[in-house]
Every structure is written in structure tokens, then in C-alpha cells.
Amino acid sequence: MEHSRSKAVTVLDTPTSTAKPAHMSDAEWRARLELAACYRVFDHLGWVEMIFNHITVRVPGEDGHLLINPFGLTYDEVTASNLVKIDFDGNILSDSDWPINEAGLLIHSVIHANRPDAHCIMHTHTTAGTGVACLRGGLDPDNFYSAQLHDMVAYHDFEGITVAPEEKPRLVADLGDRTLMILRNHGLLALGPTLPAAFAALWTLQRACEIQLAAQSSGQPLMPVSEEAAVRSTRESFQLGDRTEAGRTLFDALRRRIDRIAPDYAV
């Protein structure tokens, strides 16, 4: 990933956005707009699994409250206003005609509760991500993207569809203080202090998985990356600069694209 010294271009106020509901804080509405845009970005990138998978963010200023997608809607149907506000126990706190995904509640609530630095958590079942999750050796460190994730990836063994409460402590213990986790035989998980930071980490892991499977499909020996080079690559990666703004430029560029092609997320 190349670094840019030019002035960053930020997301403009979305002219198609509906007025903020009177009962809602400005901070919550901004969080809803950003999260809804993120669901549309995932849809645009093909990081979708029909009505399944989930992205959550904390509601700013409301301890223990999260925003999550309505279960039953595809990602291209998610909007700022139909996101569901819940607490860590899964109680729905906003007006909604839709339920929430129970696996999403279990995974996200326990990590948010135990990782106060996790403002945003993302979970995917992409073909490349789940493919690597099914490999005994997991993520190979020998490509440009995986080399930027040195000591950032945790692993959690497959126990089922992730709806059993007894799995919670093992999820937390396996994640530890890492930013990324490969759920074996299952998929990928990323978290971050901001939504763009989580997105940047997940995008890097997703690309690492894609390149790994492409390289392995050749049947040729892989060119190794030294641990020294991987440590340096991780240190130099944009993800490890200002952690609160990591990936902001990347995500904002994609959000501007969504503003052009699918602005109805902002209603």
C-alpha cells in the first residue's frame, strides 16, 4: 500500500439524506449513515452472503448499545433509518419490523463487551476468506497483503453456527488483543476503533486470502517473505499509523462511489 502526502478528500454531506429523526442524536445519525454506506460498499464489492453476515458499530454516547442490520434484508436494502439498535443482550431498542441475526448477536455482542476499543466489528463469508479458513495452515504470510498483517490475525476453531452461549468465552480468549480473526471453516472477522479502520484491516485480509488462493492454485512453490520484511511491512502499512483514522481515505473514496450509484442508503 502506497502512502499519499496529498490533501485528503473527505465525504461531502450527502444531499439525499433524509432529515435526522427528532428523537435521535446527531452522533447516532452520523453513525447510521456511515454504517449504512458500509453495507452498500460490501454489496458493491461482492462481500455478501444473501441475507446473512453482519457489521456492527457502537452507538456514540450510549454505553452498551449497537447498530446492526435487520435480518431478512439484503445489504443493498439496508438504510440509515432501518438499521436496528440493540443492547448487548439482543433487546431491540428502536422501532423495527425486522428481527436480528442470532449468530451476529452472539459474536458481535461478546466482542464489543470485552473489547472497549472495538467501535466496529465486521464478519464475512467471502469465498476467498472462507476458503483460507478451511486450510489447515490458515493464512500464508508470503504475499504483499498478508505480510502487512504480522501478528494481527487470531484463529478460532469451528464449533458450529455460533449460536451457543457457551462459545462466547472461547471467542474472546482466542481473539485476545488482535484486530483480525479467522474463524476456522467459517469466515473472517475484523474490528477497529473506527469503521474505516476495521474496513481497512478486513480489506487487507480479504486481498491476502485472494492472492494466496490464486498463487496456490498454480501448483508452483511460493516465494517466501522473511519475518523481518513482514514486521517492517506491518509497521509501514497505513493501518498502523493513526489508529483512529486508519483507512479513512480508503473508505471515504468508496463511500463517494456509493453516493453516486446507490444514494438511497441515506434515507
Instruction: Please name the residue that has the C-alpha cell 483460507.
Output: 132
Query: What distance in Å separates the CA atoms of residue 219 and residue 207, rounded to the nearest whole number?
Result: 19
pLDDT in tens, 2-60: 333 333 444 444 445 667 888 899 999 999 999 999 999 999 999 999 999 999 999 99
Percent of the chain's residues with pLDDT above 70: 91
What is the average pLDDT across 241-255?
81
pLDDT at 177 over 80: yes
pLDDT in tens, 188-224: 999 999 999 999 999 999 999 999 999 999 999 999 9
What is the average pLDDT across 107-122?
98
- Find, among 216, 212, 206, 211, the residue nearest to 250 by Cα: 206
Residue 16 burial (C-beta neighbours within 10 Å; 0-12, 13-18, 19+): exposed
Domains of the chain from N-terminus onward: 26-258 (3.40.225.10)
Given this model, what pLDDT does residue 14 score?
44
**Which of 23-32, 75-84, 104-113, 230-239 is least confident?**
230-239
**Cell numbers given for 136:** 489447515
**Which of 11-15, 117-121, 131-135 is least confident?**
11-15
39 with 58: CB under 8 angstroms? no
CA dist list (Å): 241 to 153, 234, 245: 18, 10, 8
Given this model, what pLDDT does residue 241 score?
52
Given this model, what pLDDT does residue 194 score?
95
- Choice between 1 and 211, residue whose per-residue pLDDT is larger: 211
Given this model, what pLDDT does residue 243 score?
54
**Which of 12-26, 66-80, 127-141, 168-182 is least confident?**
12-26
Given this model, what pLDDT does residue 19 score?
75
What is the average pLDDT across 152-168?
97
Query: What distance in Å separates the CA atoms of residue 213 and residue 177, rounded to the nearest whole number?
Result: 27
Given this model, what pLDDT does residue 3 score?
38
Percent of the chain's residues with pLDDT above 90: 87
Number of H helices, E strands in the chain: 7, 7
Given this model, what pLDDT does residue 236 score?
86
Given this model, what pLDDT does residue 237 score?
85
Query: What distance in Å separates the CA atoms of residue 7 and residue 168, rounded to the nearest whole number?
Result: 43
Q: Quote the mean pLDDT of the chain.
A: 92
